[in-house]
Chain A
Amino acid sequence: MIAFLKSREAILAGAMLVLLALISSRFPGFVAPDNLARVFTDTSPLLLLALGQTVVILTRCIDLSVAANLALTGMVCAMLNAAMPGVPVIVILAIAVGLGAIMGAFNGLLVWKLAIPPIVVTLGTMTIYRGIIFLISNGEWVNAHEMSKAFTGFPRTVFLGLPVMAWIAIAIASGFFLLIARTPLGRSFYAVGGNPHAAVYAGIDVGKTQFWAFVISGALAGLTGYLWVARYAVAYVDIAAGFELEVVAACVIGGISIAGGAGTILGTILGALFLGIVKNALPVVDISPFWQMAISGAAIITAVAFNARSAKAKGRIILRRAQAHGAQA
């Protein structure tokens, strides 16, 4: 019990409650159930991408191409819908997930087969995917009136008090708890990130595991691409520009160690919700939205500094001595 209270998840949840209490002391409407539901729905895209990013970071990789993947898939779905309004939503969903997974697999293959550092791969594919949106759309927008009712209506359909988009986020988050805790693939994400050499000796294919992490991240980005475009009923080249940083921020705030192998799904969920609450609270407490970028930057730095502090207690003492010695010499 004490261990749980000291855990980063409990601290983060506590920080979130304090934040909510502070906001509600001046603006009680913010914590009304339907407003909280709105905040959660607003945060679902961030949550979905952060879950995918979590498994990527667990395997010591990073995926900076998720926002571009989201935008490209969203544009393809929107253009498909504009050209052929008759295509049912379920087909569009399948195309979105499939296309996203293919883009993720491309990242994964470059990391797995050619052993190119993930940051280089995804910095590159980030611009490539973004550029392809321009090529296929000629820089034009797909607007609400070109999309069919079924296309834009799906994520907003209310079911048991919450929109479908929020239910999808909940379902996938639950799926991740199972994936991480109960499947060999989920456990191998931790093994690969914790100690790749040991993972090799344990019979785990490190590259292949990283590949699957990228596929999962890409598939979720694709799914979110459709949801995003349908919810906001517009698609253009720059949608979700810079969103990848927010996604990484959510993971880091949630305690996913960038060195791989450490962190929990609950942490990621709390990290994403924390950012979501901050984002939605800014206009309520009358702070310009221009503050948001700096706040998420400061949150990343604070969180990573905090992570390092909590990890230091069980650090490798021999190595640290050596480095400390070196610094004095």
Chain B
Amino acid sequence: MSDATSPRHIPDRLQSNAARLLKSWEVLLLGVAILIFIANSFASPYFLNAWNLSDATFNFTEKAMIAFAMALLIISGEIDLSVASIIALASTAMGAAAQVGAGTTELVLIGLVVGLAAGAFNGVLVTVMGLPSIVVTIGTMSLFRGISYIILGDGAYRGYPSDFAFFGQGYVWWVFSFEFLLFAVLAVIYYVVLHRTNFGRTIYTIGNNATAASFSGIRVARVKFILFLLTGLMAGVAAICLTSRLGSTRPSIGFGWELEVVTMVVLGGVSILGGSGTIPGVVIAAFVMGLVTFGLGLLNVPGIVMSIFIGAMLIGVIALPRLWDMWRRS
């Protein structure tokens, strides 16, 4: 991930400037979110409705849960492109269990365990065997979803227990869904872990300079392994929510989500080269993406056209500041 192409690139000296830039990045993003909100409420009369807005949160809550863990992983200098396939695998496992009469508790456990196991598999390949995470997770991306295809073919699992529907369809209070609450709780947890604990500091250290980190007594491999586990676990959680919401499992479930999760993380100001980024940024990015998708959906824009926006946003958020920089210097 971190390939310095010029000898002047010294990432561990980015201190004060970068901090300032990051601060303004989140403020900028918040401004964008508010603008999108206002534009949407003018564009469609159905936008400003508590229930519609509540529906809109489902566009991003599941992806954002994965994005929190992915943010930590990317800050540490690794990446996991297999998350969407972990969802497929975990969902298939839950579906298979539901067919033989597993209850809700068992289903949740199975989802979490499969997520953890898939994360551990990635983690072992990357940290124990020392393989590059991009290739490993491109491989496991086909492997995990491939297993779902072997099990399901072109079929589908249905028939989940009725109380299982709570995770994806239940409401805790008024318009606030269980998923939204989970998203909020996880946001706080990840904020504390990344910004208020030693463990969080070590993630930044590793991302900026893994060699220096290991000389400072940080167990680099172990921290990265934990982050892969966390990412797998969050994909398992997302699989539970998504399966519960859809009420069925196909091998194509969550197809292409890895792209949206990575976009969310990068849009949130996390450097794809590792070493910088914040959880509040990712939270705002989740809202921005959710609002854009929802607003375009209200205007009857088809899903594949929305993906153009997402792709353009991914490139744009990195390209525009650099273009601006080039223009200012010349």
**A323 and B147 alpha carbons, distance in the complex (Å):** 34
Closest to B130 in A: A308
For A292, list chain B residues within 8 Å (CB): 146
Is A297 a contact of B135 with CB atoms below 8 Å?
Answer: no
Q: Interface of A with B (CB < 8 Å)?
A: 60, 62, 110, 114-117, 119-121, 123-128, 130-132, 134-135, 139, 196-197, 200, 206-207, 237, 242, 245, 248-249, 252, 258-260, 288, 290-298, 300-301, 304-305, 308, 319, 322-323, 325-327, 329
> Shortest CB–CB separation between residue B215 and chain A, in angstroms?
7
**A259 and B10 alpha carbons, distance in the complex (Å):** 20
Given known pairs A120-B272, A127-B311, A207-B5, the reply for A305 and B125 (CB within 8 Å) is yes
For B142, list chain A residues within 8 Å (CB): 242, 245, 249, 293-294, 296-297, 300
Is B214 a contact of A60 with CB atoms below 8 Å?
Answer: no
Is A297 a contact of B141 with CB atoms below 8 Å?
Answer: yes
Given known pairs A293-B146, A300-B142, the reply for A131 and B311 (CB within 8 Å) is yes
Is B3 a contact of A327 with CB atoms below 8 Å?
Answer: no
Partner of A132, one of B130, B144, B145, B308: B308
For A130, list chain B residues within 8 Å (CB): 304, 307
**A295 and B150 alpha carbons, distance in the complex (Å):** 10
For A294, list chain B residues within 8 Å (CB): 142-143, 146-147, 149-150
> Shortest CB–CB separation between residue B251 and chain A, in angstroms?
8
Q: Is B100 an interface residue, CB under 8 A from the partner? A: no
Given known pairs A308-B130, A326-B214, the reply for A121 and B315 (CB within 8 Å) is yes
Is A115 a contact of B322 with CB atoms below 8 Å?
Answer: yes
Is A197 a contact of B214 with CB atoms below 8 Å?
Answer: no
> Shortest CB–CB separation between residue A142 and chain B, in angstroms?
17
> Shortest CB–CB separation between residue A85 and chain B, in angstroms?
28
> Shortest CB–CB separation between residue A53 and chain B, in angstroms?
12
Could you list 24 A-B pairs, sorted by A, with CB under 8 Å?
A114-B318, A114-B319, A115-B5, A120-B318, A127-B259, A127-B307, A131-B305, A131-B308, A131-B311, A135-B308, A196-B5, A242-B142, A248-B138, A290-B153, A290-B154, A294-B143, A297-B139, A297-B141, A297-B146, A300-B143, A301-B143, A308-B129, A322-B211, A327-B220
**A60 and B141 alpha carbons, distance in the complex (Å):** 21
Q: Is B131 an interface residue, CB under 8 A from the partner? A: yes
Q: Is B165 an interface residue, CB under 8 A from the partner? A: no
Is A323 a contact of B214 with CB atoms below 8 Å?
Answer: yes
Q: Is B134 an interface residue, CB under 8 A from the partner? A: yes
For B322, list chain A residues within 8 Å (CB): 114-116
Closest to A299 in B: B139
Total CB contacts across the A-B interface at under 8 A: 178
Is B150 a contact of A291 with CB atoms below 8 Å?
Answer: yes
Q: Is B11 an interface residue, CB under 8 A from the partner? A: no
- Chain A interface main SS type: helix
Partner of B143, one of A120, A259, A298: A298
Q: Is B136 an interface residue, CB under 8 A from the partner? A: yes
Partner of B310, one of A127, A301, A327: A127
Partner of B211, one of A124, A126, A319: A319
Q: Is B302 an interface residue, CB under 8 A from the partner? A: yes
For B213, list chain A residues within 8 Å (CB): 326
**A110 and B323 alpha carbons, distance in the complex (Å):** 10
Is B149 a contact of A290 with CB atoms below 8 Å?
Answer: yes
Partner of A327, one of B7, B144, B147, B214: B214
Is A60 a contact of B138 with CB atoms below 8 Å?
Answer: no
Closest to B258 in A: A123
Is A258 a contact of B135 with CB atoms below 8 Å?
Answer: yes
Is A206 a contact of B5 with CB atoms below 8 Å?
Answer: yes
Is A125 a contact of B5 with CB atoms below 8 Å?
Answer: no
For B27, list chain A residues within 8 Å (CB): none
For A323, list chain B residues within 8 Å (CB): 210-211, 214, 220-221
Given known pairs A120-B266, A124-B314, A258-B134, the reply for A301 and B146 (CB within 8 Å) is no
Q: Is B45 an interface residue, CB under 8 A from the partner? A: no
Partner of B136, one of A117, A290, A304: A304
Is B129 a contact of A305 with CB atoms below 8 Å?
Answer: yes
**A260 and B213 alpha carbons, distance in the complex (Å):** 25
**A119 and B132 alpha carbons, distance in the complex (Å):** 13
> Shortest CB–CB separation between residue B163 and chain A, in angstroms?
32
**A60 and B134 alpha carbons, distance in the complex (Å):** 12
Partner of B141, one of A127, A237, A245: A245
Partner of B323, one of A114, A242, A248: A114
8 Å CB contacts to A: which residues of B222-261? 222, 256, 259
Closest to B147 in A: A294
For A242, list chain B residues within 8 Å (CB): 142
For A301, list chain B residues within 8 Å (CB): 125, 136, 139-140, 143
For A304, list chain B residues within 8 Å (CB): 131-132, 135-136, 139
For A296, list chain B residues within 8 Å (CB): 142, 146
Closest to A106 in B: B315
For B217, list chain A residues within 8 Å (CB): 326, 329
For B129, list chain A residues within 8 Å (CB): 305, 308
Q: Is B273 an interface residue, CB under 8 A from the partner? A: yes
For A325, list chain B residues within 8 Å (CB): 214
**A131 and B309 alpha carbons, distance in the complex (Å):** 9
Is A297 a contact of B144 with CB atoms below 8 Å?
Answer: yes
Is A288 a contact of B153 with CB atoms below 8 Å?
Answer: yes
Q: Is B312 an interface residue, CB under 8 A from the partner? A: yes
Q: Is B219 an interface residue, CB under 8 A from the partner? A: yes
**A110 and B129 alpha carbons, distance in the complex (Å):** 33
For A248, list chain B residues within 8 Å (CB): 135, 138
